[in-house]
Amino acid sequence: MISTPIIKGSFALAAVAPLFALTNSLGQEEAATSTNVSAVDETQSIPVLSPPIPGAVLSDHLIEGDEGNFAHLWMLTASGENAEAYWSFDGSRLSLQRRNLVAGIECDRIYATDPGTGALRQVSDGRGVTTCAYFMPSGREVIYASTGAAHETCPPPPDRSLGYVWQVYPEHDIYTTNLETGVTSLLIGGPGYDAEATVSPLGDRIVFTSTRTGDPELYTCALDGTDVVQITDSPGYDGGAFFSHDGTKLIFRSTKFSAENREAEQAEFAQLMEMDLVRPSDMELMVCDADGSNRRQLTDLGRANWAPFYYPDDSRVIFSSNHHVEGRSRNFDLFSIPASGGEARRVTTYDGFDSFPIFSPDGRWLAFSSNRGGTLPGETNVFIAQWKD
């Protein structure tokens, strides 16, 4: 499960589930009164700015003054909690998860943008809670996790009396849905939490997180779910992994136990895992070879460092962190760090939540989720920045 400190985060197998069309979340009337990105004032000698996804609204006014890597910024969604937007292999579409109580979407569902209009189309069938959608190499299927086989409606949320925790539902299994036929198929199942699946840019392997051995560890498998190989085997939570673009490395988040309180912290971790919970407040980024060898720690910043993704040339890693803010802050910004290690450089400076950064395959665009521009507290939307070094 990949969740945010601001937001929380099936099937009759192989049955046709229609893809419910959802009007672009900005709405036609609102879009008509928003910045027009397909035309310019004829009196102005400025270039036409085409949105990276049809229907996205130019929102350069939401770029902070010192966010120098953003040449332009588009807002793809408006209202609700929209997160984990990931590009298709050809860079023409995004998959994402969405929750919107006003619209009657009580727990996260999976959506994909329409290739022609950019409108959001529901992929999951509305049962249970879903998370972590990613396009398969063909572009015809989306892979994601769902509790829908066990839960007709939203499962109970985590117990907040325990502080900020993530629920790793053991009912989560990994499915694929064909966007052309609507057929949904079980890909990875069995006892324990199976989720957080992403696909190698080479199009040959999937990496995912599973508690099948009792501890959240990383595994890889073939695209058809066979040839499952355990990658990590260490106390704590290893998850949210992505391949490097050359397919040789994995970057992921991992629980950081302190040297002075390791035994007590590991005992608390085990107690929470008995309730299928993880406390994500202390995490660092780890790197290993795609087969699990040569594991090393990339960051040593403190607090929560997560949502890593490689730059297109694999030279650096972009990620989200709150290490720069005192206390257990929910002010997360994007940072980058050399893939070989070194000093982290701040990318965003918005006073709120910025996370889930992912570069388009051609490196031109950076999609991410942010509270900026929201009309309600906690509102999280998907943005796409035109990237410049």
Give residue-wise pLDDT tens across range 42-55. 444 445 689 999 99
pLDDT in tens, 162-191: 999 999 999 999 999 999 999 999 999 999
What is the CB-side half-sphere exposure of residue 370 using CA atoms within 13 A? 26
Q: What is the pLDDT of residue 329?
A: 76
pLDDT band at 33 (very low <50, low <70, confident <90, very high): very low
Phi/psi at 270 (nearest 5 deg)? Answer: -65, -40
The confidence score (pLDDT) of residue 47 equals 57
Q: Which two tokens stand for residue 259?
A: 């040297």
Task: Return the H-helix or E-strand segment holding 305.
Answer: strand 305-310
Instruction: Give the pTM.
Output: 0.88
Lowest mean pLDDT segment, chosen from 31-45, 128-142, 257-271, 273-287 = 31-45
* Tally of CB atoms within 10 A around 380: 25
Q: Give alpha helix (H) positions in the chain.
A: 28-33, 262-274
| Residues contacting 286, CB < 8 A, separation 6+ | 238, 251, 252, 253, 254, 295, 296, 297, 298
Please tell me the predicted confidence (pLDDT) of residue 321. Answer: 98
**Strand runs (DSSP E) across 201-260, as ranges?**
205-210, 217-222, 229-230, 238-243, 249-255
Domains and CATH numbers, the chain: 21-33+54-387 (2.120.10.30)
Among 328, 329, 281, 325, which Cα is nearest to 305's?
Answer: 281
Residue 344 in this model has a pLDDT that exceeds 50:
yes
Token couple for 91 = 């860079």
The confidence score (pLDDT) of residue 7 equals 34
The pLDDT tens digits of the residues spanning 293-340 come to: 999 999 999 999 999 999 999 999 999 999 999 876 789 999 999 999
